[in-house]
Structure 1
Amino acid sequence: MHDADIEPFFATLAAANPQPASELEYSSVFELLAAVLLSAQATDVSVNKATRRLFPVAHTPQAILALGEDGLAEYIRTIGLYRSKARHLIATCRILIEHHGSRVPRSRAELESLPGVGRKTANVVLNVAFGEPTMAVDTHIFRVGNRTGLAPGKTPLAVEQQLERRVPQAYRRDAHHWLILHGRYVCTARSPHCGACMVSRWCDSAPGTAG
């Protein structure tokens, strides 16, 4: 994707969805952190199904810690890797209570020090909860970045760094939402819907483009 293509690419996505949002359901910064932690290698649909049962019962670090690892596991057992996620979330709740006054920290270093919280999860929390223009590269963004030529890279970090370099400032805040949704519903892993793609004219891989 040529540099000149990036502005119209994002302008088109923005016009179609001016206020993109995470499809995870949450009502506080802590619930967002918990949901994103649970979403690793799982769909937002499966996480929302579990948290609709969990959050009405326990939606604070103290309440989830009180459930214990086995109690928490019963609420999230429909999510992949639920045992390890229960362990990580319990440990994270303990750290939030003991070191952060039960509040979710705002720095990347502090977020990434929490069990089960990697760079992608930290980026989601920083962006969605605190409005920072971070790029949370999941499988969808990794695919879209490479397939379109917008941000080619062999690793998620490489794609993230390319996005930080190439995405215009005006679109930084919402860019990762647009790219995730585009990858989830249009630029799918198998049989991408190029005929229905509103940004195919700027894509390196779309039929009929020069690449």
Structure 2
Amino acid sequence: MPIPRMEKIIPVLKREVKKFHTPIVEVVAAKGHDPFCILISPMLSLRTKDATTAAASKRLFRVADTPRKIVALSHSRIEKLIYPVGFYHTKARSMKKTAQVLLEKYRGKVPDTIEKLVELPGVGRKTANLVVSLGFGKDGICVDTHVHRISNRLGYVRTKTPHETEFALRKKLPRKYWQDINVLLVTWGQNVCAPISPRCSVCAIRPWCKRVGVGKSR
């Protein structure tokens, strides 16, 4: 029986991504931060470069790394700590609202289910999956633009939105890869499989890629 493509692709990606920087949320998790910090980091990272997010996270968590400490800060103080992340006004407001809900509804603890997490202000399924996966060690598939794009480009799924991709992967991707798929495809998407003009000539997984939708490449 032929080996399924993902059984070949995942080991190659695990080897190759070591050449590149690790996405910021994985760095936060690796440093032993609790689920609250893992919840906040993706909020900061939206439409913001990893280096900027990393610096902002470090400044913020040095001052406030719990819901109670976040709530105690003024809105302007939070803004100053996270600037210049994109949409820092909105993010500061969402973070404080989320921290307040955690205090009022969960006694300052981060819930460990996707269903409860997505009820928090500013938290979507992408962030919720990251929290349950990295914060609690549970199975989750975090799908951002990179995971969505590459899963479709490989021809592994045929979906139109990240939301659809998450559920398609839940049906098809072996569970043992659920926690790995995000960091692998995000890192690959940031460094090799770009949205426009991907670096196909140096792509280690090209032998298994159907290159769906790829026009110009390098």
Same fold (TM over 0.5): yes
Cα deviation digits, residues 7-33 of structure 1 (max 9, x gap): 212232234459x96423432221111
Cα deviation digits, residues 54-98 of structure 1 (max 9, x gap): 111111111111112121111112011111111110011111111
SS in 2 for 1:42: coil
SS in 1 for 2:133: helix
Is 1:185 aligned to residue 191 of structure 2? Answer: yes
Looking at structure 2, the residues matched to 68 and 22 of structure 1 have their Cα atoms a distance apart, in angstroms, of 29
Looking at structure 1, the residues matched to 133 and 23 of structure 2 have their Cα atoms a distance apart, in angstroms, of 10
* Equivalence for 2:48: 42
C-alpha deviation, 1:143, in angstroms: 1.2
* Equivalence for 1:23: 24
* Equivalence for 1:60: 66
Aligned residues of 1:46 and 1:79 also touching (Cα < 8 A): yes
C-alpha deviation, 1:169, in angstroms: 2.7
Aligned residues of 1:133 and 1:174 also touching (Cα < 8 A): no
Q: Alpha carbons of 1:180 and 1:170: their partners in 2 closer, same or farther (altered >3 Å)? A: same
Aligned residues of 2:44 and 2:57 also touching (Cα < 8 A): no
C-alpha deviation, 1:156, in angstroms: 0.9
Q: Alpha carbons of 1:22 and 1:29: their partners in 2 closer, same or farther (altered >3 Å)? A: farther
Looking at structure 1, the residues matched to 50 and 110 of structure 2 have their Cα atoms a distance apart, in angstroms, of 21
Aligned residues of 2:23 and 2:186 also touching (Cα < 8 A): no
C-alpha deviation, 1:182, in angstroms: 1.2
Task: State the 4+ residue runs in structure 1 displaced beyond 3 angstroms.
Answer: 14-18
TM-score computed with the length of structure 1 as normaliser: 0.88
* Equivalence for 1:104: 110
C-alpha deviation, 1:41, in angstroms: 2.2
Higher helix fraction: Structure 1 or Structure 2?
A: 2
Aligned counterpart for 1:202 among listed residues 203, 208, 211: 208
Looking at structure 2, the residues matched to 160 and 3 of structure 1 have their Cα atoms a distance apart, in angstroms, of 23
TM-score computed with the length of structure 2 as normaliser: 0.86
RMSD: 2.2
The percent identity for this pair of structures is: 34
- Structure 1 stretches lacking a partner, 5+ long: none
Is 1:78 aligned to residue 87 of structure 2? Answer: no
Aligned residues of 1:97 and 1:103 also touching (Cα < 8 A): yes
SS in 2 for 1:174: helix
Equivalences for 1:47-196 in 2 at 5 Å?
Answer: 47-196=53-202
SS in 1 for 2:159: coil
Aligned residues of 1:69 and 1:86 also touching (Cα < 8 A): yes
Q: Alpha carbons of 1:176 and 1:158: their partners in 2 closer, same or farther (altered >3 Å)? A: same
